[in-house]
Amino acid sequence: MTWDWSAVREFMPHFWDGLLVTLQALVLGSLISFSLGLVWALLMRTPTRWVRWPVGVVTEFVRNTPLLVQLFFLFYVLPEWGLTFSALTTGVFAIGLHYSTYTMQVYRAGIEAVPAGQWEAATALSLPARRTWFAVILPQAVRRVVPPLGNYVISMLKDTPILVSITVLEMLGQARLFSQQHFQFTEPLTVIGVAFVVISYLASLLLRTLERRLVR
Amino acid sequence: MSVDTSKQPSTTDTAATELIRLAGVTKRFGGNTVLDGLDLAVQTGRHVTLIGPSGSGKTTILRLLMTLAEPDSGTITVDGQRLFPASEKERREVRKQIGMVFQQFNLFPNMTVLRNITEAPVTVLGLPKDEAEARARDLLDLVGLADKCDAKPTQLSGGQQQRVAIARALAMRPKVLLLDEVTSALDPELVAGVLDVLRDIARSTDITMLCVTHEMNFARDISDQVLMFDAGRVIEAGPPERIFSEPEHERTREFLGAVL
């Protein structure tokens, strides 16, 4: 086995295309999982059982079935119901939905960690529920949820190659395509491996900065 | 109602200016009866101190009035309006007239001192922001913290935090101020500053105060009525001079002997 720099050079244009798709999937997937997870977490705290129960069942189901199965379901079954989306859109949604069932638990823990005295002070000041949530409780929960949410971002990054299975050409897809066409596997796979490490590292730096800023 | 009025000291004087009334209020936690058919009336402008051993139901009364807990039975009215039993809407109206200062301050750590004080007047009373801030600055001046507007609560000492909490409660211009062991969490050298502020407020305003405390000097100083609690009942009531110098009830004597 020899390392061929010219193969790396040839692969790079495809790599950049793949990187862009991976980052898109990561950023959009994160945004969906962060916001949907918060929605689940808040719905689970409503006083009505008829809201909590279905939300609980659905999220428990999604959390306990494999992402790959969900991905196939969305990609192959939804079109039968007349819902057709691009492979990337489907993939981003699947990742976002799957991870929202994890982030909801992060939010739940963050919300529960806010001392009871904060709720009591809000009541004593007659703050309406909305205001209590958005001005008092959530801002305090946020600083507690950033580190665990960050871990899920890294986790999500490492799950993006699963999108290959529904024809999305993210980094792994590009590397596989290139390998099959040129019979050179070492270089493209090494390049994307390094890229995953670099992205993870940069993401963790970013999160640590964010964390430090929030803790103040 | 399980109150024996012949033995129960009269705490329910029926003056026209009655502000708070609890009638037959019972509160249980599990199998533990914290308040046992309690009758209690407080007149406008009074400064009432609740004393008694821990677990005797003093703090529970404040929490019921602040709607942080609900009684199992009985009725509570404030300024003629129902607080219990009542709809959430009725309760919301009454709640605005009551302010509370907590043992653990409970300032919002994500807001500056000024925002802590202006938050409720702006969002609940609909006060314009600049007016609310002017009021907040006056209150901070009153509690001796005019220079701490932009500080975060975590940058303040416990005593300073508690004084901000007092200013925050007063910013809503409540008719009733509930003080729940407001100095118990403070280092001894910080207690005096907080008590001075409360003494000022007691003297210079007509706000009605209900105060749970273990500071007997403070109770003697600011209150015009002391209620001695034991096992969910008021066992003795009267002006502080009398209660502290010549308590009638054996339990009161024992309690005062232990804390003074």
- ipTM of the modeled complex: 0.89
Encoding tokens for residue B94? 């009454």
Q: What pTM does this model have?
A: 0.85
Distance CA A53, CA A37 (A): 16
> Is the Cβ of A118 closer than 8 Å to some Cβ of chain B?
yes
Residue B47 has a pLDDT of 94
Helix (H, G, I), strand (E, B) or coil at A65: coil
By Cβ distance, the residue of A123, A131, A136 closest to B67 is: A123
Shortest Cα distance from A135 to chain B (angstroms)? 9
Residues in chain A within 8 Å Cβ distance of B108: 118, 121, 135-136, 140
Residue A215 has a pLDDT of 67
Encoding tokens for residue A27? 């950023």
Shortest Cα distance from B197 to chain A (angstroms)? 20
Residue B31 has a pLDDT of 84
Distance CA B214, CA B49 (A): 10
Residues in chain B within 8 Å Cβ distance of A139: 110
By Cβ distance, the residue of A117, A120, A127 closest to B123 is: A127
Which of B91, B101, B108 best tests the A interface by mutation, with the highest count of A CBs <10 A?
Answer: B108
Contact B66 A140 (CB under 8 A): no
Residues in chain B within 8 Å Cβ distance of A123: 66-68, 95
Strands (E), chain B: 18-29, 32-43, 47-51, 73-78, 81-84, 98-101, 176-180, 208-212, 225-230, 233-238
Shortest Cα distance from A123 to chain B (angstroms)? 8
Structural domains of chain A ordered from first start: 20-167 (1.10.3720.10)
Averages of pLDDT over each 10 residues, chain B, 260 residues? 37 64 92 90 93 88 94 94 92 94 96 96 95 96 93 94 96 95 90 91 91 88 90 90 89 86
Contact A140 B107 (CB under 8 A): no
Q: Residues with Cβ < 8 Å from B158, sequence gap 6 or more? A: B105, B185, B186, B187, B190
Residue pLDDT tens, chain A, 216 long = 688 899 999 999 999 999 999 999 999 999 999 999 999 999 999 889 999 999 999 999 999 999 999 999 999 998 999 888 999 999 999 999 999 999 999 999 999 999 999 999 999 999 999 999 999 999 999 888 998 999 999 999 999 999 999 999 999 999 999 999 999 899 999 999 999 999 999 999 998 888 888 765
The packing angle between helices A138-159 and A5-43, to 10°, is: 140
Residues in chain A within 8 Å Cβ distance of B66: 120, 123-124
Classify residue B9 by its DSSP letter.
-
Residues in chain A within 8 Å Cβ distance of B68: 120, 123-124
Which of A114, A125, A144, A214 best tests the B interface by mutation, with the highest count of B CBs <10 A?
Answer: A125
Residue A210 has a pLDDT of 86
Distance CA B146, CA B6 (A): 51
Residue A66's Cβ-count burial label (10 Å; 0-12, 13-18, 19+) is exposed
CB B93 within 8 A of CB B172: no
